[in-house]
Structure 1
Amino acid sequence: MTAAPAPAAAPTVPGPRRGRRARSGVSEATRRQQARLGVLLVAPAVVLMSVFLVFPVLNAVYYVFVDFDGLDTTPPFVGLDNFTELARDRDMWAAAWNNVIWIVLGTIGPLVLGLAMALLLWGVRRGSTFYRVVFFLPYVLPQVAVGVVWGWIYAPTRGWLNRGLEAVGLGGLARGWLGDPHTALYAVLGTAIWTATGFVFVIVLAALRNVAAELVDAAMLDGASYLQRLRYVVLPQIMPVFLMVTALTLIGGFAVFDIVFVMTGGGPANATEVLGTYAYSNAFQLSRISYGTTLALVVTALAVPVAVWLNRLQRRASTEGLGA
């Protein structure tokens, strides 16, 4: 006689939990306390950002659609007239072209020079601190002081540059560098490149110190030339840092103002006028606050997409494991 099968065990029903637990093992009450603490800690930064960033931007957007001269408390609404005038403004397009020249040369120049200097001093250990301080010093100096000193260097009669050219027999090249419309922009740009090169040099040199030396030695044993080692071994490892420096230098080309304003004020004959100085002259010298604000917003609208694009390239290089 076969035994009757044992009855199936009743499924166990879990009893009520005394405290609801999150996946991380932290109670819901603790998570709420952490959230309140986070809000409390972030609140001062949010207030500061709202006062000094969000409100000015919203205020600038308001000025774009009115005709504000700095005095009228109820400026008339003009809609898109400021943008229409901007599109037809030949002086604005000339200033924008100067900005393009500044962005291209003012970005390539410091990057190439800074990278070359960093590669030359890569293996130097003795005196490296001295070199870093000397080359980085122009970047931390006030731009007003830099502009004034280089204005003396470019002076037509007593300037050090013309005197140096005459001393080596190249007096025919001497001229008023800041007074000649054909050379003024490049003279000011040369000063800006001299200032920014030290920053690129210091950052890139620090990245080069973290390059895997065994990979460089292996490439050398495989017969790779210096340029091949630089392209396929060194640059990929410092690419995130190099892109960060590129972004900072390039964005500075969009927002350039102080060095041009101090050295030439946009002259002669608007030869060095850039969008920053042109917006300033319209807003504060001609009392055209709305038009100057429109120009400033255009500069911002052009710079932000470029910054976002370079930031994405940097993050992609970092996630691919190419960073130093």
Structure 2
Amino acid sequence: MNSYQSARAALPYIVPALLLVLIFVFLPVCFNLYYSMFRWNAFEINRVYVGLEYYVRLFSDPVFYIALKNNVIYAVISILFQVGGGLVLAAVLEDKVIRRWQTLFRTIFFIPSVISIAVVGLMWQLLYNPDIGLINGALRAIGQNEWAHAWLADSKTAIYAVVAVSQWQFTGYMTMLFLIAMHKIPGELYEASMIDGANRIQTFFHITIPQIKEMILVGTMITVIGAFRVFDEVYVMTFGGPGRSTEVMGTMLYRAAFRNDEMGYASAIATIIFVVTLSLSLLQMKLAKSGQED
């Protein structure tokens, strides 16, 4: 069977998936771009064509740049802790001494990622409470009263307090992904490195990371896309406050669509989110390919 016949044989299995992607991914994106050029709301049939007015308004809105900056902060910190920290945790759990307890640690690290984000947000609101919260209580208990703070009420610390919650919740998930990839690395590679006198740090950088670079790329893409699509944590804990200091593009979109009933403006924000996430994903894939040998 030649390649043409193989492609024809596979076509009946590929077409249904392509149709689903077309209907539920590409068509909504196109419709969203179309609707972003109209002034309309959820309670009227008529739409007024405004062209690029909403995009001009968006790029001239200072809140948009606050939201974009917060999403970038979210992405950078998430890459450091979820990808970098998850990679280190996975390597530690693969150590021969700790491997016997790996099942226990895997369960402990993975549990936060399966808890509802709404529940997590409410729980951390209590932990951050300036009067009865466990965090300030612990600081006062060790005599560091000056460190006690209204974490979510201060515009300088609120965004970092919210970002920290996501790191607690999803670093364990990334650790599990890296562990799965590490389990597929042939043990002979580690044995050969030990014979050559490599220490654990050298083995980690020269064997582990190169062998799981595809999973690292996938994990980074998931993390970055998630950082620019973040909504739930911010909505539950601060809803963009205080003073819009924790506003992200997701809450900005929600506010425009469901608080102000400006569906066209919300569609413009959604289009920008799509363009940013798509661009970052393509950039990451290009950077990953640039490091491959021909």
The reply to whether TM is greater than 0.5 is yes
Any idea what SS the aligned residue of 1:181 has? coil
Cα offsets for 1:113-155 (capped at 9, x unmatched): 2122112111233231121111011112111111111111111
Tell me which protein shows more helix as a share of its residues: 2
In the alignment, is residue 156 of structure 1 matched against residue 117 of structure 2?
no
Contact 1:279–1:296 under 8 Å retained in 2:
yes
Q: Which residue of 2 aligns with 1:259?
A: 233
Cα offsets for 1:80-113 (capped at 9, x unmatched): 1111111111111111111111111122111222
Contact 2:91–2:204 under 8 Å retained in 1:
no
**Judging changes above 3 Å, is the alpha-carbon distance between structure 1 residues 87 and 228 closer, same or farther for their aligned structure 2 residues?**
same
Query: Aligned match of 2:178 in 168, 180, 204?
Result: 204
**Contiguous gaps of at least 5 residues in structure 2:** none
**Aligned counterparts of 2:28 and 2:186: Cα–Cα separation in 1:** 46
Contact 1:283–1:291 under 8 Å retained in 2:
yes
Contact 1:282–1:292 under 8 Å retained in 2:
yes
Letter in 2 for 1:133: T
Q: Which residue of 2 aligns with 1:282?
A: 256
**Aligned counterparts of 2:26 and 2:207: Cα–Cα separation in 1:** 44
Contact 1:107–1:253 under 8 Å retained in 2:
no
Once the two structures are superposed, the pairs formed by residues 4-83 of structure 1 within 5 Å of their partners are 23=2, 34=9, 38-39=11-12, 44-83=16-55
Structural RMSD (CA): 2.5
Any idea what SS the aligned residue of 2:226 has? helix
* Number of equivalent positions: 292
Cα offsets for 1:162-218 (capped at 9, x unmatched): 111111111211111111111110000000011110011111122222333333343
Q: Which residue of 2 aligns with 1:228?
A: 202
1:245 CA displacement: 0.9
**Aligned counterparts of 2:127 and 2:242: Cα–Cα separation in 1:** 18
Q: Which residue of 2 aligns with 1:8?
A: none
**Aligned counterparts of 1:313 and 1:203: Cα–Cα separation in 2:** 21
Query: Aligned match of 2:156 in 176, 179, 182?
Result: 182
**Aligned counterparts of 2:3 and 2:73: Cα–Cα separation in 1:** 54
Query: Aligned match of 1:270 in 244, 256, 276?
Result: 244
TM-score (norm 1): 0.82
Once the two structures are superposed, the pairs formed by residues 93-132 of structure 1 within 5 Å of their partners are 93-122=65-94, 123=96, 124-132=98-106
> What percentage of residue pairs aligned between the two structures are identical?
33
Query: Aligned match of 1:195 in 155, 160, 169?
Result: 169
Letter in 2 for 1:73: I
**Aligned counterparts of 2:264 and 2:163: Cα–Cα separation in 1:** 29
**Contiguous gaps of at least 5 residues in structure 1:** 1-21
Contact 2:112–2:169 under 8 Å retained in 1:
yes
Q: Which residue of 2 aligns with 1:299?
A: 273
**Judging changes above 3 Å, is the alpha-carbon distance between structure 1 residues 31 and 204 closer, same or farther for their aligned structure 2 residues?**
closer
